[in-house]
Structure formats: C-alpha cells, structure tokens
Amino acid sequence: MLWFLVRRILAAVPILIFVAVFIFMLLHLAPGDPAAVAAGPNASPQQVELLRQRMQLDMPLPDQFMRWVANLARFDLGVSIFSNQPVSRLIGQRLEPTLLLAFTAMLVAVSIAIPAGTIAAWKADSWLDRVVMMFAVAGFSTPVFVTAYGLIYVFAIELGWFPVQGYTPLGTSILDCLQGLVLPSLALGFVFAALIARVVRATMLEILAEDYMRTARAKGLATPTIVIVHALKNAGVPTMTVIGIGFAILVGGVVVTETIFNIPGLGRLTTDAILRRDYPVVQGVILAFSAMLIVVNILVDLSYVLFDPRVRG
Amino acid sequence: MTAAATLVPRRLPHLPGAVVVAGSLLVAYALIGLLAPAFVGDIRALNLPERLMAPDAAHWFGTDQLGRDVFDRTLYGTRNSLIVGFAVAIATTLIGVTLGIVTCFSTWTDRIAMRLMDGLMAIPGVLLAIAMVAIFGSSLQNVIIAITVPEIPRMVRLVRSVTLTVREQPFIAAAVSIGTPLWRILLRHVLPNVIGAVMVQATYTCASAIISEAVLSFLGAGTPPEIPSWGNMMAEGRQLFQVAPWIIAFPGIFLAVLVLAVNLTGDGLRQAVDPKLSRRMGK
C-alpha cells in the first residue's frame, strides 16, 4: 500500500519535469518580447532594456532555465512581472475560491449523477431511463457558459435569489460565500454530472446482470439494499476513474466559470497572466494545475483500494 | 474489445430516431455554414441608431451594441465553428492514428511518444490552448493548432489500445509469416480494424473542439475579433447581459444544439460500429 503510493509519487516526477520544460520552451521560444509587453506601449527603448535585465531575459536560455529549475526546487516560483509579487503568494491568494468552486461543483455533480445513473440502470429502457439519458447527453453537450448564462438569467436576474456575479471570501461570511457559489457550481457541475451519470448507468447495468445480484434477490433482500449496498459499491472503480478523467475538463470549466461569475481564482489569474505575458505567473500556475491533476489521479488510484480489495495485492 | 467488433459493418444498421434528428440538424448546419455568405446581410455593417434592439420582425435575434444584426452574425458564426470542429477532428485523427499505430510496432518511438503523451495530458487542455494562441498570435490557423495539440493524446491512446489487440490476432501472424512488408500490414490489415473506433472518437473530438473554440474566443484568446464566431459574440455581449440577453442567448443556443447534434451522431456511430463497446462506455 505504502509502496504503491511511493511508486505513484515517483512516477509523477518525470511528468512534472516534462510539463516544466514544455511550458518553459513554449514561452521562451515564442515570438514577441515579454519585456516590451510588460513595459507598456509608451516605454522608451532604454526602459525596455532595463526591464529585460531585471527580468533576466538577457541571459542565455539554458542559464535562464537552470535558474528557474533551481528556484523551483526550493519552491520559489519567481516574481510576477506585472504586480511584482511572488508567484507562490499570488497562487496562495487565489487558491481558496478555485478549490471551493471545484469542490462544490464536484459535490453537485456526484449528488446528481450517482442517483440519476443508478435509477436509469435499475429502470433500464423505461421512460425514466430515457429522460435521464437525454439530460445526460444534453448536459454534456452544453458548454459551461451557456448553462451559466441560462442560470444567471433565471435565478439571479428574474428571480433575484442569488447574486449575478462576485465572490465573498469564506472568512468574511460563510453564508454569503456559499450563496455566491450556488450558481457557479451548478453550471460547472451539470457538465460533469452528465459525464459521470452515463458511466454509472453503464456500470450498474452490467453489475445488475451479475450472478451475485440474483443471489442477493433470492435470499430475500429488499431492492434498495441490493442496489445501494451490493451494486453501487461495485460501481465505485469505474465511477472514480471517470471522476479523475473529468477533473481535467473541470479545470478548463473552472477558468470559464470564474470569468463569467467574476470570481478571483486561479483560472482568472492564469488567463490574465497569459494575456499580459506575465511569464513567471503562467509557468507557476500551469505547473500548479498540472500538479493538482496528478494529485487527483493518485487519489483516484488510492480510492480503488477502498472499493476493490483485489487492487491491494 | 475484439478486432471483429471494431470492423465497419457491411450492412447499414437500423438507426434510432435521435440519430436521424441529429443527422438532419448537422445537414442543416452545414447548409447554413455554406450558404451564409450568400444570404445574410453585411455582418460588419454598423447601425448605431438601431443598437441593442430586442428581437422583432426586422431583426429576428435583435441587434448588438453596435447595431449589428445578431441573426446574421449567428448564422455566419456557424462557418467558423464547423471549420474549426472539422479541421481539428481531421488533424487529430491523422496525427493520432499515425502515432498510435507506429508506436505499437516500434519500441523506441513507443517510449518517447507515450511519455510525451503523458506529459501533454498532465497540462489542462484549455490552459495550454489559451497559452498557445496568446503566444503565437490570434488567427484561425493558430486556433486550430492550439486546440488540436491537447486533443492528440486521447486519440493516440485509443488507437494504441485497439492496435495492441489487433497486433495479437492470428491474421497478423499469418501476414508476417508469408513475408508481407510492414507498411502493407499496417495499411491493409491494421488500419481497417482501427478505423471504426477512430471514426467514433473523431466525432467526439469534433464536438469538443467546437466547445474549445467558443471557450477560447470567449476568454479573448481565440478567433480574431473581426471574424464573427459564437464565442466572440458571447464575449462582446458579456457586459450587456442584463440589458440585452439575446446577444448571448442565440449564439449560445446555436452552439449547444450543434454540439448536441455532433455528440448524438457520435453515439449513433458508436452503436453501429460496436454495440458491445457502446454499452460498456455508457453511450
């Protein structure tokens, strides 16, 4: 078990190194002068040159890279060109809204998808099944921002139940914070729910046809017990797998959702930094997102042990 | 998944109603995309006195903040989405199939390519695409490249997994034993058995690329603003959403329905190509 965890973490290291090299090359081999962009349109050539030296862009590329990696090893992600703040602090400031949004969206998705997928499989080929599946295909096909604007129009503008946009930090008011997160997490959660519901249904269909299901029924167990205790637990592995795969899509959705709802999270930080060519921030944030993706996938692998003892061996 | 199961069926399968509807919708979109330049008015014509008009008989979808007709621009935007969707699907398929098959027959390519794919998959696709468009500049071509790169790993992995099964089939051993050259084995024996699964995946890639293009344009790192794309239109309407929701609503609906149609076509294709797989994948 511990060995498995260590092996997975070690396997993540080369992937993170690849991501680091890839992002570094992409940014530094690109056309365009970040110093000129950072200095602004009215800067004199001398000012641009000064800034280039300060940003250490005048050093040879391999030296720049070695320096960046050496700092990275000490968890120093550099300093933002734009705001002059350490990148790690910028990421730290923006972490709360993004993690909360990702978590609540996941919660919405799972609490819609698992019951819906289970019922659809249990009542396979009924009208209930068709309705659930139709919603799943539609949900998966509707881009986050279309769902988001639909929700804003109905629940924020027409009914006025939730704020149109904005974010209240958790520390300021837990209630306001959660109220502001309802629409963003619903919008983001729907897409994800559709993906999970389809997999839950398909897996449950297979499980319900297994011999041990007949045994459970034969010994007189109530149907809810059979479905929830016996079947659902065995659907855990494929469900966790799709949650892991879907997390990458969720990250993309987070970026869009934060823009629509004006939430000051990591996604906004990234798009702003990319558009401003704030290289240290872009490198740091993409690396942080990749690390998150890898951590989620390791957690998913660990969860297999929970659902299927055979994996342990 | 057996090789036989991924063969393209010889007979036309019975098509469910949803697939027929989706197919008809796709044809309608294609016609709109092809004919839009011929029958819409000037999509760049500014008409400031008539700006932000609600939908009425003269402007079916209303007008935007510059008085441009939302109906005309929405129809015209179909072109952009279709071009990006199909271009990305074709590029991803060509690269993915080549890499996927070659890696199964060459050990060193396999090691390099698969590590490369692992790394690419660890970077969130949308972020990678935004970064690429921002760096290389906003143009239709760069948008297509930026969306294709993050899509490639999924295709490579699928092709690889199917090819690995095909490779172990007796008919490959038979072909090798009678001295068939490798390129001929790949082209005549492996490729036909992979193509079914690839077509299904290509459809999903197309749908996902259409969404990605809209997302990129919406975030301001996509199709150049002078081209009316649904994402651009929605980005422009963002600040005015409370006064003029139609600027966002109509491109949004067109976008969602197109993606739905493409996905349903993919589902139908999957059922036709491989009923067993389609049940397992829940589609």
Under DSSP, is residue A79 helix (H, G, I), strand (E, B) or coil? strand
Reported as a single tens digit per residue, the pLDDT across A182-217 is 889 988 888 888 888 888 888 888 877 777 777 877
Reported as a single tens digit per residue, the pLDDT across A98-112 is 888 888 898 899 898
Determine the pLDDT at residue B2: 44
Contact residues for A213 (Cβ-Cβ < 8 A; gap 6+): A207, A226, A230, A231
Instruction: Say if the Cβ atoms of A146 and B255 lie within 8 Å.
Output: yes
Determine the pLDDT at residue A202: 82
Q: What is the mean pLDDT of chain A?
A: 81
Fill in the amino acid letter for A55.
M
Average pLDDT of the segment spanning B164-185: 87
Asked if pLDDT for residue B279 goes beyond 60, the answer is no
With contacts defined as CB-CB under 8 Å, which chain B residues touch A199?
Answer: 281-282
The end-to-end CA distance of chain B, in Å, is 16
Determine the pLDDT at residue A31: 67
Of B119, B267, B280, the CB nearest to A202: B280
Reported as a single tens digit per residue, the pLDDT across B236-248 is 878 777 777 887 8
Q: What is the mean pLDDT of chain B?
A: 81
> A interface mutation test: which of B151, B211, B257 has the most A CBs within 10 A?
B211
Residues B129, B191 contacting (CB under 8 angstroms) = no
B225 in contact with A, Cβ within 8 Å: no
Residues A129, A116 contacting (CB under 8 angstroms) = no
B14: confidence class by pLDDT, cuts 50, 70, 90 = low
For residues A39 and B118, the model is more confident at B118
- Concatenated DSSP letters of chain B: --TGGGSPPSSPPPPPHHHHHHHHHHHHHHHHHHHHHHHS--TT---GGGTTPPS-SSSTT-B-TT--BHHHHHHHHHHHHHHHHHHHHHHHHHHHHHHHHHHHH-HHHHHHHHHHHHHHHTS-HHHHHHHHHHHH-S-HHHHHHHHHHHHHHHHHHHHHHHHHHHHTSHHHHHHHHTT--HHHIIIIIIHHHHHHHHHHHHHHHHHHHHHHHHHHHHTTSSS-TTS--HHHHHHHHGGGTTT-THHHHHHHHHHHHHHHHHHHHHHHHHHHH-HHHHHHTT-
Residues B78, B258 contacting (CB under 8 angstroms) = yes
Determine the pLDDT at residue B280: 46
Reported as a single tens digit per residue, the pLDDT across B44-73 is 666 667 666 667 766 667 777 776 777 778
B4: confidence class by pLDDT, cuts 50, 70, 90 = very low
Residues B158, B201 contacting (CB under 8 angstroms) = yes
Determine the pLDDT at residue B111: 83
Asked if pLDDT for residue B145 goes beyond 90, the answer is yes
**Window 2-31 of B, Cβ < 8 Å to A:** none
Determine the pLDDT at residue B281: 46
Fill in the amino acid letter for B10.
R
Q: What is the pTM of this model?
A: 0.83
Asked if pLDDT for residue A313 goes beyond 50, the answer is no
Asked if pLDDT for residue B209 goes beyond 50, the answer is yes
Asked if pLDDT for residue B13 goes beyond 70, the answer is no
User: Could you give the CA distance from residue B227 to residue B43 in angstroms, rounded to a whole number?
Assistant: 9
Asked if pLDDT for residue A179 goes beyond 80, the answer is no
Determine the pLDDT at residue B92: 94
What is the distance in angstroms between the Cα of B173 and the nearest Cα belonging to chain A?
Answer: 34
Tally C-beta pairs within 8 A across A and B.
147
Of B136, B245, B263, the CB nearest to A141: B263
Residues paired with residue A79 on neighbouring β-strands, in sequence order: A86
Residues B1, B268 contacting (CB under 8 angstroms) = no
Average pLDDT of the segment spanning B141-156: 91
Determine the pLDDT at residue A38: 66
Residues B7, B242 contacting (CB under 8 angstroms) = no
Average pLDDT of the segment spanning A243-253: 81
Average pLDDT of the segment spanning A135-161: 82
Of A255, A256, A290, the CB nearest to B123: A290
Under DSSP, is residue A29 helix (H, G, I), strand (E, B) or coil? coil
Percent of chain B with pLDDT over 90: 12
Average pLDDT of the segment spanning B181-197: 86
Reported as a single tens digit per residue, the pLDDT across B76-95 is 888 888 899 999 999 999 99
Asked if pLDDT for residue A68 goes beyond 50, the answer is yes
Q: Within 10 A of B191 (CB to CB), how many other CB atoms are there? A: 16
Buried b (16+ CB within 10 A) or exposed e, A158-176: eeeebbbbebbeeeeeeee
Asked if pLDDT for residue A2 goes beyond 80, the answer is no
Instruction: Say if the Cβ atoms of B127 and A294 lie within 8 Å.
Output: no
